[in-house]
Amino acid sequence: MSLRAILRPDLDDLEEYVPVKPLDVLAAEIGVPVDRLVKLDANENLYGPRPAVREAAARADFHIYPDPGQTRLRAAIARYAGVDPAQVVAGSGADDLIDVIIRLVAPPAVVVPTPAFGMYRFLAKIMRARPVEIPRRPNFDLDVVAIRHAVAQHAARIIFLTHPNNPTGNPLNRAELEALLDLPALVVVDEAYIEFGGETVVPLIDRHENLVVLRTFSKWAGLAGLRVGYSISSPELAERLMALKQPYNVNVAAEAAAIAAIDHRAEIAEDIAALVAERDRMTRLVAALGWLEPYPSVANFVLFAVRGRPAREVADALRRRGILVRHYDRPDLQNCIRISAGRPADTDTLVAALQELQQ
C-alpha cells in the first residue's frame, strides 16, 4: 500500500513555516563560534531570561504532570493583564492558541491581512480553512472595506490581526478594529509585541464577546524556547478553549518560568526599555546609511525597504559575517529586511557590517 493513497493530498505542498535552525547548527554552517552570532532574525529577547526565572524553571517538579486547569498560571497572568482568571487560557506558545481557536471554529475560511505572521496561514491550511489574504495599504493600515467583503464572500469566521504587526511594526488602528468587531467573525488580536509598544485592546473584550487577544512570553520575557503564551477573551469563550486544548499543553518548567517572569516583571521592564531604546538607535544608524529606509515600528524589530540592491544579497552578506536578519521578497512585501532590536554591541556589529557592504 502506498502512502499516497492514505495521506491527505491537500497537505502535499505544505511548506509554509520555515523553522528556525538551532544556534549551534547555524554557527557551524556559517563557520563562526556560537557566541559570535548576532541573531537578529526572530525578534527574540537577546538579554535572555532573568536568573530568578531560569532558577524557577529548574526547580519545577519534572516528574509530575502539569495542572490541566492551569490554576496558578492563569491567576498570575490575570494579575499581569488586569483581567479575571476565567478569561485566560495558556498554551504552548501563542501558536498553540491560534491552533485551538481555529479548531474551535473550523471555518471554511479565515481572513489574514498581509504582510502577516506566517503561522495563521499555516495552521488554517492544516485545518482545511482557506486563508484569504487581504493586502494592507501602502502604509500597512488595514483595508477594512476589503476585509468586510472577504468575510461575507468566503464565510470567513476568524480575522487574524496583529498589534503591533509583524513584520511591519505598525500598531492597529482602534477605529478600524471597532469597525471589524461588528462582523460575524472572531477577531483575534495578536499582541505578541505589545510590551514593546502600542496600547492593548484588552479593555474592549467586555463590550465585544467576539474579540480574543493573544499574548506570549516568547518576546518580552525571553522565554521563546520554553513555549508559553495565552489568550484573553470572554469567560464563555475561554471555557470553550479550555475544553478543547490539550490537557498538558503547558509544561511544568514553562509554567514555573512564566509565573516567575510575572513576579519579576519590574526587572524585565529594564530589558524591554533597553531594547526599545536600541531599536530607535539602530533605526537611526541604519537609516543614516542612505539605502535602507525604515518603516515606523513600535515593536522590538524594524522593517527596512532596501534600495538599489536585492534584499536577499544584503541578508546573505550579513549572514556570512554571522549576523542573521530576515529578508522578504514577495508580492506583498518587496525587497525588505526585518532586523530585531538587540543589545548595543549587536547594533554596533550590524552597523559596521552594513557600512562594509556599501563600500
Ligand X SMILES: *Cc1c(COP(=O)(O)O)cnc(C)c1O
Please list the alpha-helical segments (H only) found in the chain.
23-30, 51-59, 71-81, 93-105, 119-126, 144-154, 174-180, 235-244, 252-263, 265-287, 311-320, 344-357
Q: How far apart are CA 232 and CA 82, in angstroms?
A: 10
Q: Return the SS3 of 90.
A: strand
Question: Which one-letter amino acid corresponds to residue 276?
Answer: V
The yes or no reply on residue 216 touching ligand X (CB under 6 A) is yes
Contact between 347 and ligand X by CB under 6 A: the answer reads no
In angstroms, the Cα distances linking 214 to 88, 90, 166, 248, 344 are 10, 10, 14, 19, 30
Minimum CB distance to ligand X, residue 96 (Å):
7
State yes or no: residue 162 binds ligand X (CB under 6 A): yes
Q: Looking at 61-69, 103-111, 216-224, 321-329, which segment touches ligand X (CB under 6 A)?
A: 216-224
Judged by CB under 6 A, the residue of 26, 123, 161, 190 near ligand X is 190
The answer to the question of residue 249 lying near ligand X (CB under 6 A) is no
- Residue 93 or 113: which CB sits closer to ligand X? 93
Q: Could you give the CA distance from residue 207 to residue 322 in angstroms, rounded to a whole number?
A: 48
CB of 42 to ligand X, least distance (A): 7
Q: What distance in Å separates the CA atoms of residue 350 and residue 359, rounded to the nearest whole number?
A: 15
Q: Count residues contacting ligand X (CB under 6 A)?
A: 13
Which of 183, 224, 237, 282 touches ligand X (CB under 6 A)?
A: 224
How far apart are CB 230 and ligand X at their closest, in Å? 9
Q: What residues between 25 and 44 interact with ligand X by CB under 6 A?
A: 43
Q: What one-character DSSP code corresponds to residue 250? A: S
Q: What amino acid occupies position 160?
A: F
Q: Which stretch binds ligand X (CB under 6 A): 54-62, 92-100, 102-110, 325-333?
A: 92-100
192 binds ligand X (CB under 6 A): yes
Kindly state the cell numbers that stand for 239: 471555557
Q: Where does this chain bind ligand X (CB under 6 A)? A: 43, 93-95, 117, 162, 166, 190, 192, 216, 218, 224, 229
